[in-house]
Homo-oligomer: A and B are copies of this chain.
């Protein structure tokens, strides 16, 4: 018996049938649909996906015909009697309650949008998005009135997808996000590349602030009030401040719940009861990179877990290898993707044996028209070079690079392996030294001792000499406050202008020329360090700072 008929539950049911033609399989789903495309819901709201039927990846009929599975939609599991190995089920259409026996039970209840008890939370026009009916209600709301202004509460994956889709329908969007950055899973400086893009599309970004309550406006719309005292009028409000695992059934059955609030399972997706499995957004997963339990409500892992639970139930030796947190999100022409651990996750986990480099290469060679930058951060273990994580933001080719680094992490690769990776190259597809190669090379250069990194957050330290080796015109366009400009091509002839008693922190635009300069200076006896990723990284760390645009001090 399987409780929950979307990603994990549906995968589990189908796999069970493939493994055992003769088992009796009952799939309970309390909603009206099984196996629907929940990841597609924001795009249905945005009318990118126009036909609701497209969201129904499978149907109860198909499950019956193809897989001989007894699918019961609108049937809710109320409680589990573990001793009797029975589930108490309620038929939501008839109200009838009945008991159903199981030999093996799989829980796939998912996670529900967080909906805090704020004043006015129940007002019409405030929505969350989890199911097909939810998205239909939002569409109906928008079709029934002129919706000009929206407030999206929460600037994470779903919030930004919703912002994109509302924008796509011509709505002015304000985003309110409690943390100081968009896309909270990203490191702050990488989220700055996101903020910059979102700022050109959203009518307002309210970061570091939370909603205090909602009111009906005199005009008929809604007023969203924030803790810091801001007020935004809106014709619709979307709450996307995260999800909470649906653990009610598991809790009341006395199954073990983890510290992060999800159902605790072992490698075989088995709960603390050996006859009960759990999969999908409601379970805690082991992050193999960060080395900790976490919630990761994503479809890919849910599907894999469903398969694995089925394998184990059928007596196979399957195990879930854990997660590494690969994810992607697209909005306003930008793609954001990450895999493995972020710097903030590592710090939170108490890990200090790591280091990060930044590169900003084009998604293909610059001489072929249309190259767009990829901003990439690569995090690796200092002690052995093992890759710990990567984050990338750009318009093109972002998911490609993160997918391949994801595979590298899965296989335990080190930065040296990225340096040597043999990747698809033709002018319109990349570069002979791909973005991933470049990140790997830079990290490998650091680990081999060919160059040392200077920390961007200390770039204004008094006792360092900050050297900018870009051309004069570039320097005039803005640089680190206090930096001295000597273009790389002049550096060998102007070494006497540099101090021997201080560290020299070198930057350029993206880091390549600065690396050359560091190699040059080190071999001439200077204590040179590289500011990785150059001015592009600087601006991500210091977005608020008015760049120095005065003439070169070295003119």
Instruction: Enumerate chain A interface residues (CB-CB to B < 8 A).
Output: 7, 17-22, 37, 39-40, 43, 48-49, 54-55, 57, 62, 65-68, 161, 298-304, 321, 323-330, 335, 337, 339, 365, 367-369, 397, 399-400, 402-404, 406-408, 410-413, 417, 420-430, 432-434, 437, 450, 488-490, 492, 513, 515-516, 519-520, 523-524
Contact B408 A299 (CB under 8 A): no
Report how far A300 CA is from B489 CA in the complex, Å.
27
| Residue from B299, B424, B430 within 8 A of A425 (CB atoms) | B299
Task: Tell whether, in the assembled complex, residue A429 and residue B330 are in contact, meaning their CB atoms are under 8 Å apart.
Answer: yes
B67, B329, B406, B492: which contacts A423 (Cβ < 8 A)?
A: B406
| CA gap between A408 and B409 in the complex, in Å | 10
Asked if B367 contacts A428 (CB within 8 A), the reply is no
| Nearest neighbor of A324 in chain B, beta-carbon distance | B422
Does B48 contact A369, Cβ atoms closer than 8 Å?
Answer: yes
What residues of chain B lie closer than 8 Å to A519, measured between beta carbons? 17-19, 21
Chain B, residue nearest A48 (CB): B369
Point out the residue from B37, B368, B417, B450 that lies within 8 Å of A410, measured CB to CB: B417
Residue among A335, A432, A490, A523 with the highest chain B CB neighbour number at 10 A: A432
| Contact B321–A43 (Cβ < 8 Å) | no
- Alpha-carbon separation in the docked complex, A62 to B399 (Å): 34
Chain B residues, CB < 8 A from A428: 43, 330
Q: A367-B54, A489-B65 are in contact. Are A410 and B406 (CB under 8 A)?
A: no
* The one of B66, B369, B421, B492 that contacts A68, using a Cβ cutoff of 8 Å: B492
Q: What residues on B are CB-neighbors of A327 within 8 Å?
A: 424-426
Taking A406-B421, A406-B423 as given, write out 11 further A-B residue pairs in contact, using a Cβ cutoff of 8 Å, ordered by the A residue number. A18-B450, A18-B515, A21-B523, A66-B488, A300-B425, A300-B433, A301-B422, A326-B425, A403-B423, A407-B411, A411-B412
B425 close to A39 (CB less than 8 A) = yes
Residues in B neighbouring A513, C-beta threshold 8 A? 66
Cα of A339 to Cα of B423 in the assembled complex, Å: 9
B399/A424 in contact, CB under 8 A: yes
Is the pair A423, B300 in contact by a Cβ cutoff of 8 Å? Answer: yes
Residue in B40, B369, B423 whose beta carbon sits within 8 Å of that of A427 in the complex: B40
- Whether B488 and A427, one on each chain, are in contact in the complex, defined by CB atoms closer than 8 angstroms, is no
**Of B18, B304, B417, B516, which one neighbours A66 at CB under 8 angstroms?**
B516
Which residue of B40, B406, B420 is within 8 Å of A422 (Cβ)? Answer: B406
Specify which chain B residues have a CB less than 8 angstroms from the CB of A330 in the assembled complex.
426, 428-429
Q: How many copies does the complex hold?
A: 2
CB<8 Å pairs between A and B, sample of 7: A299-B425, A300-B433, A402-B424, A404-B407, A406-B424, A407-B411, A410-B421
Contact B422 A410 (CB under 8 A): yes
Chain B nearest CB: distance from A498 CB in Å? 14
> How near does chain B come to A85, taking the closest CB pair, in angstroms?
25
In the bound complex, how far is the Cα of B492 from the Cα of A57, in angstroms?
22
Given contacts A407-B413, A417-B410, A519-B18, contact A424 B328 (CB under 8 A): yes
A403 touches B424 (CB 8 A): yes
Query: Which residue from chain B places its CB closest to the CB of A513 in the assembled complex?
Result: B66
A303 engages B426 (CB within 8 Å): no
Q: CA–CA, A267 to B337, complex, Å?
A: 36
Question: Does A365 contact B37, Cβ atoms closer than 8 Å?
Answer: yes
Bound Cα distance A22, B22 (Å)? 77
Bound CA–CA A488/B68 (angstroms)? 11
Q: Quote the shortest CB–CB distance from A419 to chain B (angstroms).
A: 8
Q: Report the minimal beta-carbon distance from A372 to chain B, rounded to whole angstroms.
A: 15
> Contacts A49-B369, A407-B407, A430-B399 known; A328 to B43 CB distance under 8 Å?
no
B368–A420 contact, CB under 8 A? no
Query: A179: shortest Cβ distance to chain B, in Å?
Result: 21
A-B pairs, 3 with minimum CB distance: A65-B489, A411-B411, A21-B523
**A408-B411 in contact (CB<8A):** yes
> Chain B residues with Cβ under 8 A from A365's Cβ?
37, 39-40
Say whether A432 contacts B300, CB under 8 Å. yes
Given contacts A40-B427, A328-B425, A407-B407, A432 and B400 within 8 Å (CB-CB): no
What is the bound-complex CA distance between A186 and B406, given in angstroms? 27
For A421, the chain B residues whose CB sits under 8 A away are: 406-407, 410
- Please give, as numbers and ranges, the residues of chain B lying within 8 Å of A367 by CB-CB distance: 37, 40, 49, 54-55, 57
Contact among B17, B66, B368, B424 with A49 in the assembled complex (CB-CB below 8 Å): B368
Choice from B304, B329, B520 contacting A420 with Cβ under 8 Å: B304
Give CA–CA (A450, B15) in the complex, Å.
12
Q: How far is the CB of A225 from chain B (nearest CB, A)?
A: 32
A296 nearest CB neighbor, chain B only: B422
